[in-house]
Amino acid sequence: MSVPILSFITFLPIIGVFFILSIDSRRSELVRITALLVSIVVFFLSLPLYFHFDARTYDMQFVEKLRWIPSFGINYHVGIDGISLFLILLTTFITPISILASWHITKSVKEYMIAMLVLETAMVGVFIALDLFLFFVFWELMLIPMYLLIGIWGGPRRIYAAIKFFIYTTAGSVFMFLAIIALYFLHHRATGEYTFNLLEFYRLDISFAVQFWLFLAFFIAFAIKVPMFPFHTWLPDAHVEAPTAGSVILAGVLLKMGTYGFVRFCLPLFPEVSHAFIPVISWMAIAGIIYGALVAMVQDDLKKLVAYSSVSHLGFVMLGIFAFNIQGIEGSITQMINHGLSTGALFLIVGMLYERRHTRMIADFGGLTKQIPVFAVFFLIVTLSSIGLPGLNGFVGEFLILVGMFKSRILYASLAATGIILAAVYMLWMFQRVMFQEITHEENRTLKDMNKRELATLIPIVLLIFWIGIYPNSFLRKMDASVNHLLQKVGGKANVVYNAQRQGKLEHLQENTTPKIDIVPESEAEW
Amino acid sequence: MEAYLFYIMAAVSVGAAVYLIFEKNPVHSALYLIMTLISIAVLYILLEAQFIAAVQIIVYAGAIMVLFLFVIMLLNLNVREEIKDVLLFQKIPAIIMGILLFLTICLILKSRFLQGKQGEYTSTYINTIGNTKLIGNLLFTDYLLPFELTSILLFVAAIGVIILAKRKL
Amino acid sequence: MTNVSVMSFNILSILPILTLAGFGIIVLMVDLLSPRRPGDKNFLAYISLIGIVVAAILTKNSTGTALFSFHESFAIDNYSLFFNFIFLLSTGLVILISHNYIKREEINYGEYYALILFSTIGMMLMASGADLLNIYIGLEIMSVSIYILTGFKRSKVTSNEASLKYFLLGAFATGFLLYGISIIYGSTGAINLKEIAGFIAGKGGTVDPLFLMGMGLIIIGLGFKVASVPFHAWVPDVYEGAPTAITAFMSVGPKAAAFAAFFRVFLTAFGSTHYEWQKIIYIIAVLTMTVGNVIALAQTNIKRMLAYSSIAHAGYLLIALVAANNLGVSGVLFYVLAYTFMNIGAFAIVIVLSQKDDTFIQINDYAGLGFKHPFLAIAMTFFLLSMAGVPPMAGFVGKFYIFSAAIKSGYVGLAIIGVINSVISVYYYLRITVIMYMKEPVRDFTSLTLSPLIIAAIVISVIGTLHLGIFPSQVMEIAQQSSLLPR
Amino acid sequence: MVTLTHYLVLSAILFTLGVVGVMIRRNAIIIFMCIELMLNAVNLSFVSFAHFLNSMHGQMFVFFTMTVAAAEAAVGLAIIVAIFRNKETVNIDDMNIMKW
Amino acid sequence: MFNLVVLVLLFPLLGAAINGLIGKRLRKETVGYIACGAIGLAFFVSVLVFCKLLSLPPDGRLFEKQLFSWIESGSFQSALGLQIDPLSTLMILVVTGVGLLIHIYSIGYMHEDKGFHRYFCYLNLFTFSMLLLVLGNNFLLMFVGWEAVGLSSYLLIGFWFEKKSASDAAKKAFIVNRVGDFGFALGIMLVFLTFHSIDFTDVFRSASQGNTAIGSFTVTIITLLLFMGATGKSAQIPLYTWLPDAMEGPTPVSALIHAATMVTAGVYMIARCNVLFLLSPFTMTIVASIGAVTALFAASIGLVQNDIKRVLAYSTISQLGYMFLACGVGAFTAGVFHLMTHAFFKALLFLGSGSVIHALSGEMDIRKMGGLRHHIPVTYKTFLIGTVAIAGIPPFAGFFSKDEILLESLTHGNFLYWSIAAVTSLLTAFYMFRLLFLTFYGESRGDHHVMEHIHESPRNMTIPLIILAGLSAVGGFFGIPGANVIHGFLSPIFGTHGNTEILKAGATVHHSEGNPYLMMVISTVIALAGIFMAYQMYIKRPELPKKLAERFHIIYKILLNKYYVDEIYDILFVKLTKKISVLLWKRVDVQIIDGSVNGIARLIGWLGNVLRLTQTGYVRNYAFYIVIGCICIILFAAFGR
C-alpha cells in the first residue's frame, strides 16, 4: 500500500495539536470542536485498515519502514496484523468519544485537548510499532499526557494518583527497556546484525535461562500495566482521580497495552518460558479475577468499583492469553476490545453522574431510574455487557477465554469461572443501589436525563456492544491467521518444553517436534 | 653526610608540620610552614634539583608565605581560634584517619615498586648541562604549551584577586 | 638535548584556545575603555559570543584529523573536538542566560565574561590534554576561574561561602590528584598518557600496588570534579551559593571537562588495567547515582535539587566508564551534549523565575507556572522529562546509549541499578511539573523579565533537547566517530 | 644510604599531616596552609621520583605545581579576604549557611 | 415451512424493540396490541410448525435451521441455529400459548401502571429469550436463552424497582441463577472438550453411539454440571431461594416466568440432554433425589405460608421437584408432560391470585381475605379448577401427569421416591385447598375499606383465566394412560437414540412392578385425604390450625421461617463474602499491597531525609568524607583483588 496510512493515523493528532496551538485559548469551544474533528478524522482514516485488511495472511500489513537511527539499526518500522488491528481501531474509536465526554472541562481546555491528542498518537504508536525501540518510545511517551490529564484535571488526590501512575508504570517499563537492549545484543551475537526489528527477534533462539530473565523483565512491565494482581494498586487511585475521559482512555486503551504486550512480545519472543510460566500467570490471573471482584463488591465509590472490576476483567484476558490456544487468545483479544468498550462506557456513565451530582459515592444515589430512564437503559446495557450477558460483547470474550483455558487446564478455568458469578454480584448490587429503590437524596429528584452530546458518546459504544455480542465473527475472522501463526510459532517451541516437562526431561529442549496449534493436547487436559 | 642531612631535615620538616597543624596562632603556623618549606628545599638540593630548591625558597617560602602572613596581619587574625569546636567529635577520627592513610601508603610503599622506565637525565648528565639550563631548555621545547598556558592561569588569578578583594570596583 | 622541532608546535591546533584567550582579553580591554556604567554592557556579551562562534568555526575546521602536537602532549582528535563543541556550546548558552542575570544581580563586570572564556580554555585543555601535566594545568585554569566566578557576588555571604568551600575542597582534592600523578609518574616514569599505556603494555598489563594507588588517587581528584560520591559533598552547597548562571555553567562545562579527562586517562593510559579499576568505578557509580537521586528527593530548593540531580547524572556517566567500550564513549559524548541542553535550559528557567538575590528559587515558588507562562512551563517540563529519561527527549536516548554500553560489556547489574535510579529520579523531576501544573500559584509572575538572549537560550535548549531525542542519528554518528577506542 | 623509600615516606608523612590539618583546623587560612603542605609533600615525591628515575618530568611538574600554587594562593587569599569583609571571621565552621 | 420458525423468534423480538424504543410515545392500547400481536403471531406460527411436524413421520421430525455462525474460533464453533423437533415444538407451543394468554391478561392487570410499555417490552423480550432457549440447536445457544430469560426475569422481578424488596429480589434471582449458570457454562465446556462439538445432534449422536462409557467420570461430571444449571433456573435445592422472593414482580410475570415457562427450563434441559443423563446413573440418582427432596421440602413450607403468591411459589418449587424426580428416574416424558400441565394450572392459579390481588387493591395476605367467592365468581371458579388440577383430582390435568410421575417413581425408581412423592401429593392437596378455603370461603377478614371496592376483573383478565381453566381441566387427556399422545409425540426424543438399551443396560434400578390403575386410585385417595384435612381445618374447625401451631410450636416456626435457609445462606454466603471482601480491601489491598508499594516509596524518601543530614555544610566534614573515600579506594585498588 503506497499511502502511509498508519503514519497518517499516528501523527495526524500531532498535526491537530499545532492547529489547536494556533487557536486563542479563550475560544475554548473552537478548541474543543477542532480536537473532536481531528479525532473523528483519525477514526475515519483508520476504518480503511479494517476494510483493506487481508485476513488471509498473518504477515504484517500496511508496513512502513524508514531509517531512523541507522547507527543502532533502529527503524521507523510500523505495521499491523490481526492482533493489533482492533486495538488501533479501539483507540481511534475511544478517543473522539473521550473528547466528546470532556466537553464540560473548562479549566485550560487548550492544554487538555493537546494532551488528549498527543495521547492518541502515543497509543496508536504503541500498537503499530514493529521496532522495539520505537515501541518503547511510544510506550513511555504515552505516560506523559496521561499523567498530566490525571494530575491537572483530576480529583482531589490527583497529584498522588498521577505520580503513582507515572512512577509505578515507569518502574515496570525500565526493566523492559533493559531487556530490549539485551535482546538487541543477543540478536547481534547470533546474526552479526544490529537491529531492533521485532520480526527479526522472533527468529532468535534464546536459551532457557536467558529467556527467563528477559521474560521476567517484560513481564513486570506488562503486568503492572495490565494490571495483574498484585501490581494493581495504582489503578484504583488513577481511575478515581482521573477526569472522565482519562478514566475512559485508561481503561479503554492503556490497560490493553499490557495484555497486547504479552501477546506481541512475551509469547513469541520467549515461548518456552512463557509456557513454563503458565501456572504462575494463571494463578495470578485467577487471583486477580476473584480478588478484583470481591474488592469491587464492597467499594463505596463508583469509580473505584469499576476500577477493581477492571482488575477482574483483565484477569480473564491474561488467562486467555496463557491458555495457549486459539480460543483463549482470540477470546482475549476480543475481551480486550470488550473491556475497552464496556468499562469505558461505565466510566462515561459514572462521569455523567458525577457531572450532575458532583459525587461518586454509591450511597448518594438510589432510585435514579425513575428520574432518568434513558440513562438507566444505557447504564443497564453496559452493566450487563460487563457482567458478560450472552448477546452482548462481554460474553463472547469471556466464554472463549474460558473455553480456551478449559481445554488446557480445567481447574484454572473452573476457578476463573466463579468470576462470572461475582461479576454479577458486584455489578448488580451497584446497579441496584444506584438506579433502583427509593430516591433518598432530594438532589436526585431534579436530575436531568442524558443530553444529545452524552447520547452521542454512548450510542456508538452500545451499538458496538451489540454488534460484537451478536456477530463477533466480523472481528474474530480477521484475527485467525495472525493468532494461528502466533500459536504455530510459539507452539513449535513450547511444545517441546511441555513434553519435556511431562517426561521430566528438560534437557531435551533442543529437539524439534512438529508444531501444533493447541499446545496442550486436548485429550491430555489436566484437571 | 647525606643521610644525616636527610634525617635532620626530615625531622625538622615533620616537626614543623606537626606544629603547623596544632599551633593555635595563625602567624606561628605560617612560620612553621615556612620552616617546613625551607627544609624541603634542602632536600631538593640533596636530590640534585637545585633550581627547584631555589624557587622553593624564593617563590614559595618567600613570596607565597609572605602573602599568607600579609593576609593574616591584614585581617588581624593574630588571635587564637575560638575554643568551642562544633566538630570536636571529628578530631580523633580525623587523626586516626590520618594515621590510617599514612599506614596505607606505607603498606603500599613496602610492596615492590619502582619499575618505572629509567630516563636519560642521569645526575651526571644534569650536572654537565646544569639543572637550571636544562629546565629552561625543556620549558621552551617539551613544555612550551603548559608553560604558555600557565600565563593564562596567572592572568586569571590576577583578575580574580582584583574582583574578589578590591574594595570598590 | 631534545630536538627542537618546529613542526611539533602546531599553532593551528591550539587556535581555538588562542581565539578564546584573545577574545577574553578583548572583553577586558573593551570593558576597561568603555564608561563604567553597569547595566549597559550588552556588547560584552556579544563580543564573547562572537569569540565563541569563531572558536567553534576554528574547531570545526580541524575535525576529522587525529593530531598529537606539542610533543604528543596535546591531542586534536574527534573526541576532544566533540568535547570542545560541548564546552563552547555550554559557554555560549551560559553567556546567553547570564547577560540579564548579572545585570539584575549587579555584578555586570567585563571580568565575568573573560573568566568564563578563560575557564573554557581550561576545559578545552583538559579534553585535549594527552599528558597528565596538560590535564592538570587545564584543570587548574578551569577551576581557578570558577572559584572566582562562584564568589563573584562578593557582597553576598552565600556566594563567598560557596566560593571558599569550593576553593578549599577543590585545592584539597587537587592535592590528591597531584599525589596520584606523582605516583603514576614514579611507577611508570612517564606523564604522557601514551607512554604510560605503552609502559603497562610492556609489562604485559600487570601493575603493582603503587601504581594502583596512584590510579586510585587520580580517581579521587577527577571524581571530585565530576561530583561523584563520596567526593560530591561540595556540589550542593556550591551550586546553591554560586550565582545561578555560574551554577548552570558549573554543572555542565567543568563536569564535562572532568569527564573528558577521566575517560581519556582511564581508557588510553589505564585502558589495559580495566579489570583493576572497573570495580572501584562500579561502586562509585552506584553510590553516586543512588545518593544523588535519593537526597534529591528531599530537596526544596531547586538549585540544590538540580545539584543533587547533577550528582546523579555523574553516576550514569560513570556507568559508561565502567563499560569502557566504544558505545560507552560515544554514549558519554551524546549524553553530555544532551545534558548540556537540558540542564542549562532548566537553569535558564530558574534564572527567569528568580528575582534579585536569588529569591524565589524554592520549588514551591513554581506553583501555578503552568498556566501563567505556558511556554516556560512546557520548556521546563521538557528539560525535566529529559533529565528523567523519558522519551522522546534527549536524555532518554542518552540513557539508552549508556545502558546499552553497560549491557554490551555485560554489566547488567549496573544497568539495573541505573534504571532503578532513574525511576527514583522520576519522582523529584515530576514533582516540579506537579507543582507547576497542579498547584495554585503562591506568587505573582508579573515581574518576570524575559530578555531576548535568555529566550534564545531556552529555545535553543528546547530544540536541542527535542532534536536529540527525536532525530538523534546525526549526532550519534558523529559521536560514534569520536570514540577514543579503536572501533 | 637514603633511598627513594625514605623520601616517599617523608612525603607521605607530610601529606598525611596536611590532610589531618585540613580535617581538624577551623581557621580557613591555616587549612589553606595545610593544603600547601600537602602540595609540598607531593612536590617532594615528584622530585625524588625524578631523581631516582633519572627523569626531568618530575622537576618540571614541580615547577608548574608551584606556579599553580602561587596562583591558587592569590585567589584563595582573595576569597578569604572577601569573606572576611562580609562575615568578620575566617572560621570555616561559621560558614555553613548552606547545608542539607 | 419450517423456515418460518425464525418468525417465532422474530415477532417477540420486534415487539420488544418497538415497545422499548418508542413505546413511551405510544398509547397504552397500541402498546398492548403490539405486544399481544407479536406473541399471537408467534403462537400462530408455532401452531403452523406444529402441524407441519405432525404431518411428518415420527422419525423424520427433526429439522435444523442454521441462521449464521455465531462464535467461531478454531475448532470451537457455535452457530445461531434453530432446532425443531417434537420437544421444542411442544415447548414453543406452551410458551407462546400460555404467554399469549398472560400477555392479554396483563393488559388489564397492568393498565394503571406507568411503566406499561416497559413492562410489555420486557415481557416480549422474555418470550423471545425463552423461545431462543428452547429452539436453540446447540448448548451455547441454549445458554444464551438461559441467560436471557434470567435477564428478563431480573427486569420483571425488579419491575417496581422503587421497592427495595423488589430490587433485592431481582438481584437475588439473577445472582442465584448465575451460580447455576456457572455450572451450566462449565458443563458446556466439558461437553465441548469431550465431544468436540456443542451441537445437540452431534453430541447426542456421539454419546449414544457408545463413544462414551456408561457411568464414565466425564459424563457424570458433565451431567452434574448441567444439573447444577438446572437447579438454579428451576429453583431446586440448594438454589431455590430466589423463587419465593421473585414474587415481588407483577403477578402475571410470576405466572408466566416463575411458574409456567422459565422455571421449567431446567426440566427442559435435562429432557433435552436425556442421552447424556442416561449415561450417568449417579447423576440420575442425584437428580431424582434432589427432585424428591425439593418437592417435599417446598411443600412443607407451603403449608404455613400466608402470602397468596408465596404459597403458589413454594408449590411451584414443589411441582418442579416432581418433574425432576420424573427425569431422575428416566421418565422424561412424564416430566415434560407434567411441565405442560403445570404450565396450564399454575399459570391459571397465579393469574387467579393476581385477579384476587387486583380485586383487593394489592392485598396479598390470605389471613386478610376470605369469602371472596361471591364477589369475584369467575376468578373463584377458575381458581377452583386450578386447585383441583394441582391437587391431582381426576380428570383434571394435574392428575394424569402427577399420577404418571408417581407410577414411574415406583416402577423405575424405588419405594422411597414414591413415598416422598405421595406425601408431597398429600401436602399439596392440603395447602392448595387451605389457600382456596382461606381466600374464597368463610368470613371476610379484610378491612372494610378494601372490601367495599372489591370488583371482578375486566374481561381481558377473565378470558385468559377461563381459557387456562379449560386447559387445566382437559389438558391431562393428552397423557391419559393407554392413549398417551404425549408419549408418542415425544418418543423420537426419548426413545430413538438407542437409549432404551442403555436404560435397560444400567441406568435404571430394579423394577418394582406396579399396577397403573391401582396407583391411580391410590393417588386420588391421597389427594382427597389432603383436601379433607384442609376442609376440616379451615372450614369446619377454623380454630384447629392455631391450636396445632401452638402444639407444634417449634415445627411451625421452622416452617413459617422456611427452615431458616435464607438466614443461613445470608450468614454463610452474603455476610461472609462481604466480610472477606472488606478484609481483602481494607487489609490486604490498602494495607499490605498498597502499603508495601507506598512503603517502598516512603522508605526511599526517608532515606533521602536521612542521607541529606550528611550534608552538614561543614567543609571539614566534607574533607573527612574525601579522606575516608580515599582510604577505601586506595586499599581496594591496591589490595582489592
Segment E348-374, tens digit of pLDDT: 998 988 888 888 877 888 888 877 888
B3-9's contacts with Cβ under 8 Å and 24+ in sequence apart are B3/D1, B3/D2, B5/B42, B5/B46, B6/B43, B6/B46, B6/D2, B6/D6, B9/B39, B9/B40, B9/B42, B9/B43, B9/B46
Is the Cβ pair B71, D29 closer than 8 Å? yes
Terminal Cα-to-Cα distance of chain C (whole angstroms): 38
pLDDT at E401: 85
Question: What was the pLDDT predicted at A2?
Answer: 67
Specify the range with the lowest mean pLDDT, choosing from A136-145, C354-363, C421-430, E522-531.
C354-363
Is there a contact between B16 and D20 (Cβ–Cβ < 8 Å)? no
Q: Cell for C447?
A: 515581574
C-alpha to C-alpha distance for A249 and A94, rounded to whole angstroms:
7
The answer to whether residue D85 neighbours chain E at the CB level (below 8 Å) is: no
Cα distance between residue D62 and residue D48, in whole Å:
11
Residue of C nearest to E620 (CA): C169
In one letter, which amino acid is E227?
F
Residues whose CB falls within 8 Å of the CB of residue E229, separated by 6 or more in sequence, listed in order: E146, E180, E181, E183, E184, E185, E187, E266, E269
Among A3-12, A481-490, A516-525, E564-573, the minimum mean pLDDT is found in A516-525
pLDDT of residue A373: 87
* Beta pairing, strands E76-84 & E63-73: antiparallel
With touching defined as 3 or more inter-chain CB pairs under 8 Å, the answer for chains B and E is yes
pLDDT on residue A516: 37
Q: Is the pLDDT of residue A506 over 70?
A: no
> Which chain B positions have a beta carbon within 8 Å of D68's beta carbon?
150, 153
Q: Tell whether D39 lies on the interface with C, counting CB pairs under 8 A.
A: yes
Mean pLDDT of C134-147: 95
Amino acid A14: pLDDT: 93
pLDDT digits (tens, 9 = 90+) for A365-378: 888 888 888 999 99
Beta-strand pair E76-84/A74-80: unpaired
C6: confidence class by pLDDT, cuts 50, 70, 90: very low
Give the cell for residue A446: 431534579
State CA B23 to chain mean position distance. 18
- Closest chain D residue by Cα to residue C168: D32
Task: Work out the pLDDT band at E406, boundaries 50, 70, 90.
Answer: confident
User: Does E511 have pLDDT greater than 50?
Assistant: no
Which positions in chain B touch C120 (Cβ < 8 Å)? none
Please list the alpha-helical segments (H only) found in E412-515.
Answer: 415-440, 448-452, 459-474, 485-495, 499-502
Digit-coded pLDDT (tens) for A88-134? 999 999 999 999 999 988 888 998 999 999 999 999 999 999 999 99
Q: Do E622 and C220 lie within an 8 Å CB cutoff?
A: no
Cβ contact A154:A241 at 8 Å = yes
Q: Identify residue E180 by its one-letter amino acid code.
A: G
Say yes or no for a CB contact (<8 Å) between E192 and A399: no
Q: Any idea what the Cα angle at residue C476 is, between residues C475 and C480, rounded to 5°?
A: 120
Three-state DSSP at A64 gives strand
Percent above pLDDT 90 for chain A: 56
Average of per-residue pLDDT values in chain E: 85
Q: Of C306, C284, C286, C283, give the one whose Cα is nearest residue C295.
A: C306
- Predicted confidence at residue A339, as pLDDT, reads 93
Average pLDDT of chain A, as a whole number: 88
Which residues lie across from C355 on neighbouring strands?
C359
Q: Is C481 exposed, middle or buried (0-12, 13-18, 19+ CB in 10 A)?
A: middle
ipTM exceeds 0.85, yes or no: yes
- Closest Cα in chain C, distance from residue D51 (Å): 10
Q: What would you measure as the largest C-alpha separation in chain D, in angstroms?
A: 54
Q: What is the DSSP string of E74-128?
A: TTEEEEEEEEESHHHHHHHHHHHHHHHHHHHHHHHHTTT-TTHHHHHHHHHHHHH
Strands C67-69 and C74-76: antiparallel
φ and ψ of A25, to 5 deg: -70, -15
Residue-level length of chain E: 641
- Percentage of chain E lying above the pLDDT 70 cut: 95
Q: With CB atoms and an 8 Å threshold, state whether C140 touches D55.
A: no
Interface of E with B in 566-625 (CB under 8 A): 618, 620-621, 624
Is the model's pLDDT at E438 over the cut of 50?
Answer: yes
Closest residue of chain C to A143, computed from CA coordinates: C390
Question: Which residues in chain B are contacts of D81 at CB distance < 8 A?
Answer: 71, 74-75, 164-165
Q: CA dist E489 to B13, E90, E272, Å? A: 126, 9, 14
Name the phi and psi angles at E82, rounded to 5.
Answer: -110, 145
Average pLDDT over residues A50-78: 90
Contact: B109, C154; criterion CB under 8 Å: no
Per-residue confidence (pLDDT) for residue E549, from 0 to 100: 82
Per-residue confidence (pLDDT) for residue A217, from 0 to 100: 93
State which amino acid sits at residue E424.
T
In angstroms, the separation between the Cα of residue A461 and the nearest Cα of chain E is 17
Q: What is the pLDDT of residue A520?
A: 43
Q: What is the pLDDT of residues E29-68, one digit of tens each?
A: 888 888 999 999 999 999 998 888 888 887 778 888 888 8
Chains D and A touch (3+ CB pairs under 8 A): no
Query: Measured between CA atoms, how close is B140 to chain E, in angstroms?
Result: 36
Answer whether residue E396 shows pLDDT above 60.
yes
Reference C177, options C104, C250, C226, C234; nearest CA is: C226
Cell digits of residue E34: 403490539
Q: What is the pLDDT of residues D8-38, one digit of tens each?
A: 999 999 999 999 999 988 889 999 999 999 9
Alpha carbon distance A242, A161 (integer Å): 8
Give the nearest partner residue to D99 out of E615, E620, E627, using CB atoms. E615
Please tell me which chains touch C, using 3 or more CB pairs under 8 Å as the contact test: A, B, D, E
Nearest CA in chain C to E602: C297
pLDDT band at D39 (very low <50, low <70, confident <90, very high): very high
The pLDDT of residue C440 is 86
**CB distance D83 to C164 below 8 Å:** yes
**539508552: which residue's cell?**
C400
Confidence band for A499, pLDDT divided at 50, 70 and 90: low
Residue E632 burial by Cβ neighbours in a 10 Å radius (0-12, 13-18, 19+):
middle
What chain D residue is nearest to E612 in terms of C-alpha separation? D100
Surface-to-core class of residue B12, CB atoms within 10 Å of its CB (0-12 exposed, 13-18 middle, 19+ buried): middle
pLDDT score for A500: 54
Q: Are B and A close enough to touch, i.e. 3+ CB pairs under 8 angstroms?
A: no
- For B38-94, how does the pLDDT look when each residue is reduced to its tens digit (9 = 90+)? 999 999 999 989 999 999 999 888 889 999 999 888 887 766 655 567 777 788 888
Name all chains with 3 or more CB-CB pairs below 8 Å to chain D. B, C, E
Residue E386 grid cell:
386450578
Average pLDDT (E429-457) is 81
Distance CA B157, CA B155 (A): 5
Q: How far apart are CA E150 and CA E142, in angstroms?
A: 12
* D97 contacts in chain E (CB < 8 Å): 617
pLDDT of residue A513: 37
Q: Tell me if C298 and E612 make a contact (CB, 8 A cut-off).
A: yes
Q: How far apart are CA A12 and CA E94, in angstroms?
A: 59
Closest CA to E125 of A380, A458, A449: A380
Angstrom distances, CA of residue C66 to CA of C4, C10, C74, C269, C482: 22, 13, 11, 17, 10
> A402-415 as b/e, with b when 16 or more CB fall inside 10 Å?
bbbbbbbbbebbbb
Contact of C43 with chain A, judged by CB distance below 8 Å, is answered with: no
| Structural contact between residues C126 and C138, judged by C-beta atoms closer than 8 angstroms | yes
Distance, in angstroms, between E231 CA and closest chain A CA?
Answer: 15
CB pairs under 8 A between B and E: 30
User: Which residues of chain E make contact with C299, given a CB cutoff of 8 A?
Assistant: 612
- β-bridge partners, A361: A301
Q: Place C5 in a pLDDT band, splitting at 50, 70 and 90.
A: very low
Judging contacts by C-beta atoms under 8 Å, the chain C residues touching residue B116 are: 185-190, 199
Residue from B24, B40, B96, B110 whose CB has the most chain D CBs within 10 Å, to mutate? B40
> To the nearest whole percent, how much of chain E has pLDDT over 90?
15
Cβ of B90 within 8 Å of Cβ of E624? The answer is: yes
Across A310-319, C173-182, E382-391, E515-524, least confident range: E515-524
> Does D17 touch chain E if contact means CB atoms closer than 8 Å?
no
Q: Give yes or no for a contact between C370 and C360, defined as CB atoms under 8 angstroms apart.
A: no
Longest dimension (CA), chain A: 73
User: Is the per-residue pLDDT at E510 higher than 70?
Assistant: no
Nearest CB neighbour to E631, from listed B90, B94, B97: B97
d(CA E265, CA E221): 20
Query: Which residues of chain C neighbour B52 with C-beta distances below 8 Å?
Result: none
What's the gap between Cα A154 and its chain centre? 21
In this prediction, residues E467-496 reach a mean pLDDT of 77
User: Of D19, D67, D73, which is closest to B98 when you measure between CB atoms?
Assistant: D19
C-alpha span between A236 and A246 (Å, rounded): 13
The answer to whether the Cβ–Cβ distance between A170 and C423 falls below 8 Å is yes
> How many beta carbons lie within 10 A of that of residue E557, not counting itself?
12
Identify the pLDDT of residue A507: 44
